[in-house]
Amino acid sequence: MNISKSEALFARSRKVMPGGVNSPVRAFKAVGGHPLFIAQAKGARITDVDGNTFIDYVGSWGPMIAGHAHPRIVERVKHQAELGTSFGAPTELEAELAEKVVAAVPSIEVVRMVNSGTEAVMSAIRLARGVTGRDKIVKFEGCYHGHGDSMLVKAGSGVISLGLPECPGIVADLAKNTLTLPYNDAAKVRELFASEGGNIACLIVEPVAGNMGVVPPAPGFLETLREVTRDAGALLIFDEVITGFRLGLGGAQARFNIKPDLTCLGKIIGGGLPVGAYGGRRDLMDSIAPTGAVYQAGTLSGNPLAMAAGCEMLDMLAEEGVYDDLEKKSDTLCRGYRNNAESLGVAAHFTRVGAMFSMFFTDREVTDYDSVKTCDTGLFQRYFNALLEEGIYIAPSQFEAGFMSLAHSDEDIQLTIEASQRALKKARG
């Protein structure tokens, strides 16, 4: 596979950008070699600057649930671009998308648009501290909630992929107010809240962990989080930046029938353009300026291009049969992956929730950060590069999720299963 143009672009980028990239996991440090520079994408396929085309299961890290460059979204964005790309003033599109979010997500009565998932989380945390008058927050090891200071304590995603120690630059007073627990350990949650409950402003969780690979919640785990936070007067925040509108119109909270106090959204609600949002009960959200005293602002929040794309995306996802189709396709792919590993005697653990999935190279059941770290990352590196040679593009890290889209055809999925078997043979040696 020729990647000479990508290699040249990477060398050029490293002169003017940290590590040559604008987000660390893109650098391919966890899998070796050089990152591919993408020139274009359509449907379920992406094409790099060297003309190599791949069936894509990254989907821009989740938001391309309808596939790349879907004609309806492209047309909606083109139409809006002709009217103006940014105003810094209210638009009808903001109200339209907010209404769609409120109608779909069970816990959200009022929503504030921001520009990224990180910004949504930072704002929700500030709101929780503001309304409770408490400083401490609780998060789970291996869950990633963006790069805000409080959230980088034992974080997942690229922090695991790069094998980084605790991030320098985090203010000690912030770190000491961030309490971490093992994901899926309900007993440890109860123990912590028994001793610290009165000091805790909020607990934030990915209801389905998606940043240490896909780790589903254990039975009763989310119910425990709802119970202990309510009893302690703390807020429960669901980070649904990945799961929101991917696991169903109502996200993970509808799938598991748990209503958090606040929800953070991103990815899909911008139709692939940069966007984030946080929302919840009206009494909480009314504490945000200009209605209340908790200040949060964003000059370009509610950008009309992102709002237009998001409105079209949510209309598409509301159509009958969409999520059934995603479930069927994801199940077919994952059963093929499992059969490949079993037939070749490769130790692997598989997880899937809706259209999110992972194949972990370990013989242990994966339930938390510690079990995730038992994966054979060397085997993953070989498998990843063998898959690239086969024309399949997955996330360049053992610790990231895979994503199915509506654009993946039955033929794409069968080609992927066959390519995976060959790649596993090669990676195993």
Q: What is the pLDDT of residues 62-75, one digit of tens each?
A: 999 999 999 999 99
Instruction: Give residue-wise pLDDT tens across range 224-251.
Output: 999 999 999 999 999 999 999 999 999 9
By three-state DSSP, how is residue 197 classified? Answer: helix
User: Is 63 in a helix, a strand, or coil?
Assistant: coil
Mean pLDDT for all residues in the chain: 94
Tokens of 304: 């009309």
Assess whether pLDDT exceeds 60 at residue 157: no
Scored b (16 or more CB within 10 A) or e, 74-98 reads: eebbeebeeeeeeeeeebebbebbb
Same domain, residue pair 226 and 331: no
**Residue 213 CB partners (closer than 8 Å, separation 6+):** 351, 358, 360, 366, 372, 398, 399, 400, 401
Q: Which of 48, 56, 185, 239 is catalytic?
A: 239
Q: Catalytic one among 57, 100, 144, 183? A: 144
Place of tokens 């994408």: 41
Give the end of a domain, one of 267, 298, 317. Answer: 317
In this prediction, residue 155 carries a pLDDT of 53
E strands, 157-252, in order: 178-181, 200-205, 235-239
Residue 371: CATH number of its domain: 3.90.1150.10
**Of the residues 267, 337, 383, 412, which is catalytic?**
267
Q: Is the pLDDT of residue 77 over 70?
A: yes
> Band of the pLDDT at 154, cuts 50, 70, 90?
low
Residues 296 and 345 in one domain: no
CA–CA gap between residue 134 and residue 400 (Å, rounded): 33
User: What is the extent of the structural domain holding 197?
Assistant: 71-317
pLDDT tens per residue, range 263-303 = 999 989 999 999 999 999 999 999 999 999 999 999 999 99
CA distance readout (Å), 47 to 25, 40, 107, 272: 19, 5, 39, 17
User: 260, 295, 317 — which closes off a domain?
Assistant: 317
Residues 391, 267: one domain? no
Task: Please tell me the total count of domains within the chain.
Answer: 2
- Annotated active-site residue 144? The verdict is yes
Instruction: Based on the residue annotation, tell me whether 295 is a catalytic residue of this protein.
Output: no
Please list the residues that pair with 392 across neighbouring strands: 55
Are residues 305 and 174 both part of a single domain? yes
172 or 271, greater pLDDT? 271
Is residue 267 annotated as part of the catalytic site, yes or no?
yes
Give the model's pLDDT for residue 176: 83
Over residues 332-378, the pLDDT tens digits come to 999 999 999 999 999 999 999 999 999 999 999 999 999 999 999 99
Domain identity same for 55 and 157: no
Rg (CA), the chain: 21
Residue where a domain stops, chosen among 317, 333, 367: 317
Two tokens, residue 189: 């949650």
Q: How far apart are CA 335 and CA 142, in angstroms?
A: 26
Q: Are residues 416 and 273 in the same domain?
A: no
57 and 126, same domain (yes or no): no
Does 247 share its domain with 379?
Answer: no
* In a shared domain, residues 277 and 327: no
**From CA 160, how far away is CA 155, in angstroms rounded?**
7
Task: Compute the average pLDDT of residues 383-388.
Answer: 97
User: How confident is the model over 175-206, as pLDDT tens digits?
Assistant: 789 999 999 999 999 999 999 999 999 999 99
Which residue blocks in 241-376 are alpha helix, DSSP H? 251-256, 282-285, 304-317, 322-344, 369-372
Please tell me whether residues 245 and 230 are part of one structural domain. yes
Taking the C-alpha atoms of residue 56 and residue 174, their distance in angstroms, rounded to an integer, is 38
The CATH number for 280's domain is 3.40.640.10
